């Protein structure tokens, strides 16, 4: 698979080019919709963009786009208590289906890299404990 910046689709009227960033945004949106995904794990650039008020929708996504297929690597942080194999499977299914439907590319791989676990904040944990105690 060639590493190109965009995919060119020849048509009778001309060409349609799909940039790698577009594919990464689509994959990122599909992944963040999965229950158990706390956040995408990006580098320093993603954090700076968020501080400046711009949400980086392709944060934590690496895409290689060829002429007919794409390979996607997704770096995530999962919620504590989520079953990691189930979350990873759901991400793979969702990303593959969404990217293929929106771009016409065949997705050959969706590799999920779990970079960490997000624990509940102390206030949230205390509130959930109090709610459980009040039920008893």
Q: Of 84 and 10, which is predicted with more confidence? A: 84
Q: Per-residue pLDDT tens for 70-128?
A: 999 999 999 999 999 999 999 999 999 999 999 999 999 999 999 999 998 866 556 66
Kindly state whether residue 46 falls inside one of the protein's structural domains: yes
For the chain, the domain total comes to 1
Kindly state whether residue 113 falls inside one of the protein's structural domains: yes
Q: Looking at residue 109, which CATH number applies to its domain?
A: 3.30.70.1350
Residue numbers of the domain that contains 118: 6-135
Q: Per-residue pLDDT tens for 26-77?
A: 999 999 999 999 988 875 444 444 444 446 778 889 999 887 889 999 999 9
Residue 8, pLDDT score: 62
Kindly state whether residue 1 falls inside one of the protein's structural domains: no
Kindly state whether residue 33 falls inside one of the protein's structural domains: yes
Query: Of 79, 121, 105, whose CA–CA distance to 8 is shortest?
Result: 105
Kindly state whether residue 29 falls inside one of the protein's structural domains: yes
Q: Rounded to two decimals, what is the model's pTM?
A: 0.73
């Amino acid at each position: 698979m060639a590493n190109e910046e965009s995919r060119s689709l020849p048509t009778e009227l001309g060409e349609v080019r799909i940039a790698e960033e577009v594919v990464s945004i689509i994959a990122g949106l599909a992944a963040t919709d999965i229950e158990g995904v706390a956040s995408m794990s990006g580098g320093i650039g993603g954090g700076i963009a968020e501080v400046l008020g711009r949400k980086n929708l392709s944060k934590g996504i690496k895409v290689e786009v060829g002429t007919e297929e794409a390979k996607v690597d997704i770096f995530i942080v999962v919620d504590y208590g989520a079953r990691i194999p189930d979350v990873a499977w759901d991400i793979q299914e969702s990303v593959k289906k969404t990217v293929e439907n929106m771009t016409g590319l065949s997705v050959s791989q969706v590799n999920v890299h779990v970079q960490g676990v997000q624990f509940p904040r102390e206030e949230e944990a205390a509130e959930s404990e109090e709610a459980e105690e009040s039920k008893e």
